[in-house]
Structure 1
Amino acid sequence: MGTSLRRRVATGPPPVLAFKPFGRRTGRMRRIRKTVTSSGLTVVSERMDHLRSVSLGIWVRAGSRHEPLEQSGIAHFIEHLVFKGTERRSTRQIAEESDWLGGTLDAFTSHECAAYSAKILDEHLPRAFDLLADLVTAPRFDAQEIEKERHVILEEMRLVEDTPDDLATELFLRHFWPQHRLGRPILGTEETLFRLTREAVWHYFKQLYTPPNLVVSAAGHVEHERLVELAARYFDHIPDSGLRPQDTTPKPSPQIVLHKKEQLSETQILLGAQCPGLRSRDRHAVLLLSSILGGGTSSRLFQTIREDHGLAYATSAGTMLFSDTGLFLIHAATSPKNVLRVLDLIVAELRRLKREPVPAEELQRAKEQAKAATMLSLESSNARMAHIAQQEIYFGHQTSYDQILRSIEAVSVDDLQRLAMEIFQTEALALVLLGRLDSVRVDREQLAC
């Protein structure tokens, strides 16, 4: 079978939490090692002896929130363009070598980072490293390829327009953080995309694709010393620009936005507010609060809106957590005639969380659900490779399963009620309605909780 080549856009950071599944294994240390080379490049690895594969990633500590305002979308554009040819490989040769390796080649851009990864047999690590390093150190940025790729990304933008929940999220971010880079789409806009010059692409690349801004991570049947040797060979000669990604924490501008899209049969409801981010001590409590409200079929919103009232096929609550801030989001899709009824039920559940302590049994169920989901997601070498890279990017160190588990178990009923009081304030809530709105009207009083 040939290699699968994929490129993705991530609207928020992937999960960076992990949990120890069984008490009897608590004392076993994960075999994670870290080295910082002379050029400032960070190398992290986790050895998994029972595998014959290696998942390898090169991560950039910069995403769409670190772009100049006038260059919105440039980080994602570069992620596309590096696959269009390097100084040593043509576009076709990149594809052929990917197939020869026989695994998967992947890339994505998020608000806070970008990543290029491969999963291959352990014996192919040197060749896979050579390919990934070539992509992120020596792209050609050919003028003709740049023009062609603009139109590919334009089609990607149109796909978002045709995906109701993605479009609702984009509208929410745009209106919630209108003056901040987190409020802009990762893809940029058509205007900024066609304004990006080859010179601007080169400048951004040279400034941020430097060793101190990169993390090399690997998990699987890998020797850390060999990984460090490869990293030094391919990256230690690259000069440091001295630029480090920086940004300010956004100030919210909660609004009620009604966006008509007549061709949709259902109206998308997206209600949310700002919440603590990944580096907050409350991050575990925020995730548990979202789970209780709308994290599964036993959650309050699912039981109330779908099971009790039959007003929606699916409804959920979740978070978009960034390094310094986050969004607590509640989603539902329903027919236009039921929008206000569904909205009333959601607000009633928020009011209940503020006024009534969550029963201890319900909280414990949410904890067990979170632990199981996270551990199951970390069963592959690819997930572990991403996990150790994200731990390094967001926290600067690796957190053990035991430490995280203790933090989860330490979340109390009082913590949840305190967070509900802080997050679900009437003036802090923002709302996006997308679809056939007919005569729907919503004011701030209807969000009172």
Structure 2
Amino acid sequence: MEYQYYTLPNGLRIVHRRVASKVAHLGVVINAGTRDELPHEHGLAHFIEHMIFKGTKKRSVFHILSRLDSVGADLNAFTTKEETTIYASFITSHYERTMELFSDILLNSTFPSKEIEKEQEVVIDEINSYKDSPAEQIVDDFEDQVFTGHALGKNILGTPKMVKHFTRETIQRFIDENYIPSKMVICSVGNIRFERVIQLALKYFSDFPSKPEIRIREVFKHYNPTQKTIQRSIYQSHLMLGSAAYGYSDPKRVALSLVNNLLGGPAMNSRLNLAIREKHGITYSIESQYTPYADTGFFNIYMATDDVNIEKATALVHVELDKLRDIKMSSRQLRQAKRQLIGQLVLTFDSNLNDMLSMGKSMLVFDRVDSPLDVFRKIELVTEEEILEVSNEIFAPDYLSSLLYLNKSKNKPKP
């Protein structure tokens, strides 16, 4: 894969990959997410993601949504702890139409008061829907527990009380301070010449004024392991174990990605799935996840089980963690783990949409995009000793935190 790069005079970066396909994918990734919010702005990055489709100086909500819907394109957006992304998939002949629309909603949104009021109710409903899903709620609660007192611990949606106080002025201030060219990347995949991509970007994005970066992210420094139990009106017990982990700049993140995939990744032969679901049949859902951030990371293991099985299931999870800490993997086991992860990544890279989104994130973090071969080489370089080292650091008993959702009618077993 060949990636092509260009930087506009105002500092906005472009990355493009040309592919022989009738479908193109275009995105704008902004290096501004939940962790960039001030205390009184909790949930604002996500709220703005909703509001940028609600009207510009020349388009109503209807005209924004119809601009791409009318030609069969798919327009979407999402917010994470560290970025906001707007993207679309469309027939290549509609490339300029898409580029122009992105420019309009990012540069000329008006944020009408009536639309703000309507969207506040929509987002509050979204917040309340999470409360009905303990499997989703526990992730937010546990990340807040791991990153206590830091912006990374805040959930993405915010709170109803906070969302209700957002105004046009609040929104515009956040955009003025965060939606600046040096923090934005246009990522593109499609059968279009790179010269044409640059031409259109210059035409539609040169009006973005270059500004100094005012907001500086607070680096996460102190992680304190804690154990918590919360009683809720639920049918099953839900448990999350985990800790702070390695950030993007830490070379150990590759080894931890391997460990995560081996332990509780998406494959049915993950160690946790085999040991607890397949062998003992005491859980339907069990998985692990590793999310690196700019300066730290988040590792967690999640499972849900009947109340009577929670102590046994928890003990079995610790047995698997003990194995990773105490038993060095054989070279054959490591080869199999690498082959599995690389195979999964090949499937991911086969999606041009996934590749486009990954390109934007990589540009924000590394100012470059690694080819699949570069990624595979890094995985192949991981040693048995590194797997053991990472496991002993992340899974040390006194380093792990835990959060248990327990049925209100039951006693509290020790997690």
Could you say whether these structures have the same fold, taking a TM-score greater than 0.5 normalized by the shorter chain as the test?
A: yes
The question of 1:153 aligning with 2:117 is answered: no
| 8 A contact 1:354–1:417 mirrored in 2 | yes
Aligned to 1:20: none
Q: Distance in 1 between matches of 2:89 and 2:404?
A: 41
Q: TM-score, normalised by structure 2?
A: 0.96
Runs (4+) off by over 3 Å: none
The question of 1:412 aligning with 2:412 is answered: no
Identify if the C-alpha distance between structure 1 residues 426 and 160 changes in structure 2 by more than 3 Å, giving closer, same or farther. same
The 5 A counterparts of 1:47-62 are 47-48=18-19, 50-62=20-32
Aligned to 2:315: 344
Return 5+ residue gaps in structure 2 as ranges. Answer: none
Aligned to 1:228: 198
1:74: Cα distance to partner? 0.8
SS in 2 for 1:165: helix
SS in 2 for 1:428: coil
Q: TM-score, normalised by structure 1?
A: 0.89
The question of 1:119 aligning with 2:119 is answered: no
Aligned to 2:290: 319
Of 296-305 and 136-145, the range deviating more from structure 2? 296-305
1:134: Cα distance to partner? 0.9
Aligned to 1:170: 140
Aligned to 2:12: 41
Q: Distance in 2 between matches of 1:64 and 1:91?
A: 25
| 8 A contact 1:292–1:363 mirrored in 2 | no
| 8 A contact 1:265–1:436 mirrored in 2 | yes
The question of 1:375 aligning with 2:346 is answered: yes
The 5 A counterparts of 1:13-52 are 30-48=1-19, 50-52=20-22
Q: Distance in 2 between matches of 1:419 and 1:411?
A: 11
Of 176-185 and 401-410, the range deviating more from structure 2? 401-410
1:229: Cα distance to partner? 1.5
One-letter amino acid of the structure 2 residue matched with residue 417 of structure 1: L
Root-mean-square deviation (CA), in Å?
Answer: 1.4
Return 5+ residue gaps in structure 1 as ranges. Answer: 1-29
Within the candidate set 388, 411, 434, 2:359 is matched to 388
Within the candidate set 400, 419, 434, 2:371 is matched to 400
| 8 A contact 1:320–1:326 mirrored in 2 | yes
Percent identity over the alignment is 28
One-letter amino acid of the structure 1 residue matched with residue 232 of structure 2: K
Aligned to 1:441: 413
The question of 1:99 aligning with 2:65 is answered: no
One-letter amino acid of the structure 2 residue matched with residue 93 of structure 1: H
Q: Distance in 2 between matches of 1:220 and 1:238?
A: 24
The question of 1:362 aligning with 2:333 is answered: yes
The question of 1:142 aligning with 2:112 is answered: yes
Q: Distance in 2 between matches of 1:427 and 1:181?
A: 24
| 8 A contact 1:213–1:244 mirrored in 2 | no
The question of 1:216 aligning with 2:186 is answered: yes
The question of 1:192 aligning with 2:158 is answered: no
The question of 1:328 aligning with 2:305 is answered: no
One-letter amino acid of the structure 2 residue matched with residue 123 of structure 1: S
